[in-house]
Amino acid sequence: MRLIDVGVFLERERQIEEEGTVDRDMKTVLKVLHDLDTNYAILSHRWADEVDYLDIMELAKMENRDEIRERSGYRKIVKGCQQAENDGLEWLWVDTCCIDKRNSTELSEALNSMFRWYENSKRCYAYLHDVDIFSTTPDHETFAKFNGWPEWFSRGWTLQELIAPEDLQFFNKEWQFIGDKRSRACNLEEITRVPRGVLEDSLAAYGPSVAQVMSWAADRETAREEDRAYSLMGLLDVNMPMLYGEEKKAFWRLQQEIIRKSTDQTIFAWVPTDETSQPGCPVLADDPSLFRECHDIVQIDSKEFYSKLSDLWGAPDNSEDTGILRRRNHFFRRFFIPQQWSVQNQAFRPFTVTNMGVQVQLPVRRYCGYPLILQVALACKREGGPKPIIINLVPWRTRCYRYTGQVKRNLTLTPYRHSQVILAYEGSGPSSGIVIEEVDGVVASLLDQCAARVGINVGNNDVDEHRLGVTCAEIHHIPDRWLQIFTSVIASRRSIFHFVLHTALYCVIAATMGVVPFFTTATISIAIVWILSEAYAEIPFIRLCTSECSSRGEYIIGSGMEIIVLRGSRPAVSSITHGETRIPSHVVHDVRILVRFLFAILAILEDLLVESTTPKALLFLPQFVLLGILSMPITVSEALRWSLLQVVYRLKLRKYMFSTRTSGVVFTLLHSRTEKAEVTEKVMNELLPTPNTRAWKKWKDIILRRIRDREDLVIGTTD
């Protein structure tokens, strides 16, 4: 690093001040030294009218040196050198003049090393140019632009300059001492949200999560957008080249570098806002401000994570742990449900950053009502919180994007399974709504409500014309209800495992203890009832409602932000009824596990009382009671309105996506055949922002001609 020789600089300043000239034999002001072998002071300040490397080196030869010496930036250097001399330090580093910014290599090295330089300094001087005293209360009148605090606390680069130095002293605009970091730790924590432990000890000793560090920088500003990322490199212990001009991509690159060397999953726990949320956005945040509410999110180790993860099994996503979940007995579930074994033995695996995205293994489960949305549990929690942080993802082609839309919170959830997913770290998902294209899959609008109707009224208030997309799907096969029930039972693999296990267990008990055939028959019957009820508890009951297509084989499913156009000669699904169990599935599981042990106890007692005079009929009563518990009817509650259209089996899709609302409106009008060509042309001319472009006129002519001729629309590359 290049340092200012305090003695030489002050001597040169004295000669210029008193004699108007400089001794030619004077040593150079700047010298290159190593930070680990040198005792030096360092200056932290807010840039204003500064002097650069050439100004300092050539000051003695410059004709305008008096003008340079009058600058506020030069006076800061003079005062900094005087303070360093008073503290017995021979060297001072100032970022404005100790870096030759003409050399891109030197600039990049300095920015990557800056945190270490501040950390290794013997003393850091924080110059607050706009205060007389260290205020302990916000002054919104004087500092209206900076949340009521001096400007130094609002800048991006000064965050590491606050945290890194061991000895940080504050000076007012007259260079009078007004406090140090340790004595002002409580005030600094209130101003900056940096925990007192970080200020009094060190960043390494406190060990904050990535999300916490990001939250400290959420409200800080920099002159260039890229510096919002570059100013965090030292705090997050990463290095990367400087590429000014890349704008928000710098923050994505920073997060990729963090992921390459850390398994800290708090980096995915950012909170979307109304301004930044979109249906499918990257999993990595595009700005530190999205971590504003993450100041209390901490990492948890694998043992605690999987212990807390079991609390989420079968519980609603928005349920608060007020002690009921904590008291709920998971002992049986942990040792007797096979899926728990596989989860408990999982360890955190490192992330892999590829050109496709971030490849990682995470616990994933699906919402029964939103089959395309994945709920992912992260190995982090809020301080004092009972549950891990969860986020929602939506698959789009080969990657998963962050889903920030609403999901009904009272839906049954499937168990977690470790899955390998590729998280998109930049770009965006579908341009309007979440539209999935698969050979065998699901068409979903993922909206608040779904209704079937022929055609669409463009003037309908329910249609948000600013965010309109279209999906065209062709229906080839719809299963009947009995086939669906059979498939649901077969899909419940865990139930089949239970059936085999219980049947074998009770047969062995009956054979070894000589239990009467009644007991064996009853237990096997109960096992059969068990698997049937298990299937309905695990897989929600679904009723498909069909509607006959119009004469042209088309109708529209419309909603607030997206339109789904279904085409086909057979009856197509127009709505879905979803039934949830009256008894939560996790309660059913726990009761059944308890009953399993009660049956074993009854079998033993029955065998012990064979020679007893006690009537064995007394034991049949609790058996019948337990039989009733196990075969409780899984009733269907009032149907919930889904915000999606679901066709689960053998679906073939054709997809047309348009990024603008206008294209969606025109395309829908074309397919619905509800408007005449003249009306369509009027709507098109009114809605398109640039209706007179050559490309638009050509496309409009094609559409109008096909509407008039009642042709089928086939979008080709020439169109």
pLDDT attached to residue 230: 95
The rounded mean pLDDT for the chain is 68
- Are residues 16 and 150 both part of a single domain? yes
List C-alpha distances in Å: 440 to 460, 516, 651: 33, 51, 5
Token pair, residue 433, equals 């709504």
pLDDT tens digit string along 592-601? Answer: 666 666 666 6
The C-alpha angle 57, 63, 69, rounded to 5 degrees, equals 60
Q: Decide if 450 is inside a domain.
A: no
CA-CA distance, 65 to 51, in Å (whole number)? Answer: 11
DSSP 398: T
Q: State which of 178, 201, 224 marks the end of a domain.
A: 201
Q: What is the pLDDT of residue 322?
A: 33
Same domain assignment for residues 384 and 512: no
pLDDT of residue 510: 59
The span from the CA of 255 to the CA of 232, in Å, is: 10
Instruction: Please compute the mean of the pLDDT values over residues 96-112 and round it to a whole number.
Output: 91
pLDDT tens for each residue of 523-541 = 555 555 555 555 444 443 3
The phi and psi torsions of 488 (rounded to 5 degrees) equal -65, -40
- Tell whether 705 is covered by a domain: no
| End-to-end Cα spacing for the chain | 61
Please report whether residue 661 resides in a domain.
Answer: no
Lowest mean pLDDT among 48-52, 105-109, 401-405: 401-405
Sign of CA dihedral 650, 656, 661, 663: negative
Name the nearest CA neighbour of 395 among 427, 426, 430. Answer: 430
> Helices H, strands E: what count in the chain?
24, 23
Report, as an integer, the average pLDDT of 361-369: 75
One domain for residues 423 and 512? no
**Per-residue pLDDT at 643 exceeds 50:** no
Same domain, 8 and 108: yes
Which distant-in-sequence residues (6+ apart) come within 8 Å of 205 by Cβ? 197
439, 555, 646, 647, 653 from 650: Cα distances, Å: 8, 20, 12, 8, 10
- Does 717 fall in a domain? no
Is residue 581 over pLDDT 60? no
User: Is residue 394 within 8 Å of residue 373, measured between CB atoms?
Assistant: yes
Whether residue 556 contacts residue 453, with contact meaning beta carbons closer than 8 Å, is answered with: yes
**Does pLDDT of 272 surpass 50?**
yes
Same structural domain, 35 and 161: yes
Cβ pair 576, 545 in contact under 8 A? yes
Q: Name the strand (E) or helix (H) holding 41.
A: strand 40-44
- Which pLDDT score, from 0 to 100, does residue 282 have? 86
Q: In 10 A of CB 201, how many CB atoms?
A: 13
Is the pLDDT at 549 greater than 90? The verdict is: no
Tokens of 464: 């948000």
249: number of Cβ within 10 Å: 15
User: Contact at 8 Å (CB) between 563 and 469?
Assistant: yes
Residues 282-296: tens digit of each pLDDT: 889 989 999 999 999
Q: What is the pLDDT of residue 123?
A: 95
pLDDT value at position 309?
74
Highest averaged pLDDT of the listed ranges 10-19, 318-327, 535-544, 699-708: 10-19
- Which structural domain range is residue 355 located in? 208-429
Q: Are 529 and 411 part of one and the same domain? A: no
Q: How many domains does the chain contain in total? A: 3
Q: Which of 201, 220, 243 is the last residue of a domain?
A: 201
Q: Is residue 495 domain-shared with residue 584, that is, in the same domain?
A: yes
What angle do helix axes 694-709 and 661-672 make, rounded to 10 degrees? 20
For residue 263, count other CB atoms closer than 10 A to its CB.
15
Per-residue 3-state assignment (H helix, E strand, C coil) for 579-632: ECECCCHHHHHHHHHHHHHHHHHHHHHHHHCCCCCCCCHHHHHHHHHHHHHHCC
704 pLDDT band, cuts 50/70/90, is: low
Examine the pLDDT at 88 and tell me if it is beyond 90: yes
Judge whether 532 lies within some domain.
yes
Domain match, 271 and 172 both: no
- Residue 562 placed within a domain: yes
194 and 67 inside one domain: yes
| Structural domain includes residue 437 | no
**pLDDT of 657 above 70:** no
pLDDT over 80 (residue 117): yes
Q: Where does a domain end: 599, 615, 641?
A: 641
Strand partners, 402: 281, 393
Q: Which residue has the higher pLDDT, 402 or 268?
A: 268
- Residue 634: is its pLDDT beyond 50? no
Taking 80 as the threshold, does the pLDDT of residue 366 lie above it?
Answer: no
Q: Which residues pair with 361 in a beta bridge?
A: 420
Banded pLDDT at 422 (limits 50, 70, 90): confident
Co-location of 8 and 65 in the same domain: yes
Q: Are both 100 and 222 inside the same structural domain?
A: no
- CB under 8 Å to 94, separation ≥6 — which residues? 4, 42, 43, 76, 77, 80
Size of the chain in residues: 719
Same domain (yes/no): 537, 499: yes
CA 141 to each of CA 70, 128, 147, 153, 220: distance values in angstroms, whole numbers, following the listed order: 30, 17, 10, 16, 19
What's the pLDDT at 310? 63
Compute how many other C-beta atoms are within 10 angstroms of the C-beta atom of residue 511.
10
Share of residues in the chain with pLDDT > 70 (%)? 50
Residue 709 covered by a domain: no
Residue 318 has pLDDT above 70, yes or no: no
